[in-house]
């Protein structure tokens, strides 16, 4: 069965550094999402992406964050100048038809900012 994959599984970075989290959505899916989950807290929506542009973003997704689909398979989340509070689990998800459709989640990348 097709799966969403994410790399790396764990990323450790120093405060102020830039990180890029990578995701490979399911191949025929058109909608892509990023979420984060700070340890012990709820999963929070960051951004949705369709047709090579952001369709929705939350208040969390400020200028520090950016997303890109650099080729036909990868979907990336870039965090510039990381802060301690960016430490979290970051989940990528994809869906076939968008609104209301089942989202398939990746296993997540654990980001630790020191």
Partner 1 sequence: AQTVTQSQPEMSVQEAETVTLSCTYDTSESNYYLFWYKQPPSRQMILVIRQEAYKQQNATENRFSVNFQKAAKSFSLKISDSQLGDTAMYFCAFFSTGNQFYFGTGTSLTVIP
Show contacts with partner 1 in window 56-95 (CB under 8 A): 56, 58, 91
Show contacts with partner 1 in window 13-52 (CB under 8 A): 33, 35, 41-45, 48
Q: Which of 7, 20, 105, 110 binds partner 1 (CB under 8 A)?
A: 105
Q: Three-state SS across 39-78?
A: CCCCEEEEEEEECCEEEEECCCCCCCEEEECCCCCCEEEE
Residue 108 binds partner 1 (CB under 8 A): yes
Least gap, CB of 31 to partner 1 (angstroms): 8
DSSP assignment of 96-112, as one string? SS-TTSPPEE---EEEE
């Amino acid at each position: 069965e097709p799966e969403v994959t994410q790399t790396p599984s764990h990323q450790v970075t120093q405060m102020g550094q830039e990180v890029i989290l990578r995701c490979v959505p399911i191949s025929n899916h058109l909608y892509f999402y990023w979420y984060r989950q700070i340890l012990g807290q709820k999963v929070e929506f960051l951004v949705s992406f369709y047709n090579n542009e952001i369709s929705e973003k939350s208040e969390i997704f400020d200028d520090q964050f950016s997303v890109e689909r650099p080729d036909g398979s990868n979907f990336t989340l870039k965090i510039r100048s990381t802060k301690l509070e960016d430490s979290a689990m970051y989940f990528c998800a994809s869906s076939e038809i968008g609104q209301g459709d089942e989202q398939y989640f990746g296993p997540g990348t654990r980001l630790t900012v020191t």
